[in-house]
Amino acid sequence: MIRAVRVRVPATSANLGPGFDALGLALGLYDDVEVEVAGSGLSIEVSGEGEDTAGRGADHLIARTFRATYERLGGELTGLRIRCVNRIPHARGLGSSSAATIAGIVAARALHPAGETFTDDDVLALATRIEGHPDNVAPCLAGGLTIAWQAPGGARLTRMDVSSRVRPVAFVPDERLATERARGLLPDTVPHADAAANAGRAALLVAALTATPELLLDATEDRLHQSYREPAMPASLDLVERLRAKGVAAVISGAGPTVLALTFRDGEVDSISAEVGTSWHIHPLNVAPHGARVQPIHQ
């Protein structure tokens, strides 16, 4: 029986402008997690982003999701060793909690003798219950571009390849923002015209990302959530507006405050760096074609 695994999970960006709570993109920025089933005790080491989370013990998100999955599969967990090397910024709208959730679940699936019975659909369903919505966990699990939705039987996803011309660029501020605060600014209802406009733009965005990047600027227009969140991240919305005025398809990544630009022209990243200024950490990224990857550690 395998006793230890290494899991690599990608950052993700949800919404992508108009695809609120539905569209998600896997990004080439990764957390690496090693998990070992031990005889007793709990040990958690974290380096990089979120070093302060190591002291949470059994409440650490990876420990909680691992235990929930392992026990759901019928196992009794006596001890656990977790080592995280984190690169995904925390509380910035890049899916750090979804990455931790998926890492814990797929690690438990790999280490439990009955893990083969736990399908990707099961992983998605459990991760969605933990996270509350599937838009970030879906691309973290499947890679590429995903559309996720809630069906009567639970969360579902479909995955698509992104055009090789698309190059995401993340502009990450130092400030953090809790997802709960960002969601709390959203109204209970929106005008019908805004909902209709977003439906059309979300459909167009799928075509733009997969086949026709020239349409990205129009396709990323949003009326449902970004402007309502401006009080929580005025600098982010200002950057989005300035980039879009320059013809760059910029959006708030997830609940923010990171700004994501979907570029496709040669030299576009260099041309917009001057517009951004020095108060942002600029990360040119690739689209991650794969979601969570698991590798046994032979001891």
| Strand 4-15 versus strand 293-296 pairing type | antiparallel
The residue among 140, 70, 57 whose CA lies nearest residue 108 is: 70
Q: Is 148 annotated as a binding residue?
A: no
Cα 198 off chain centre by: 21
Rounded Cα gap, residues 77 and 41, in angstroms? 10
Q: 75 by DSSP, 3-state: which?
A: coil
Q: Is 98 annotated as a binding residue?
A: yes
Terminal CA-CA length for the chain: 11
Q: Is 90 flagged in the annotation as binding?
A: yes
96 is in an annotated binding site: yes
Is 184 annotated among the ligand-binding residues? no
Q: Has 153 been labeled as part of a binding site?
A: no
Q: Is 95 annotated as a binding residue?
A: yes
Residue 60 CA to residue 45 CA, distance in Å, equals 11
143 belongs to an annotated ligand binding site = no
Residue 220 dihedral angles phi and psi, to the nearest 5°: -95, 10
Is 99 one of the annotated binding-site residues?
yes
What does the buried/exposed string (b/e) look like for 94-119 if buried means 16 or more CB atoms within 10 Å of the residue's CB? bbbbbbbbbbbbbbbbbbbeebeebe
Tokens of 200: 């059309």
Angle of helix 61-72 relative to helix 96-111, nearest 10 degrees? 40
89 annotated to bind ligand: yes
SS3 for 45? strand
Consecutive H or E run containing 101: helix 96-111
Query: Residue 55 annotated as binding?
Result: no
Annotated binding site: 89-99
Q: Residues within the annotated binding site for ATP?
A: 89-99
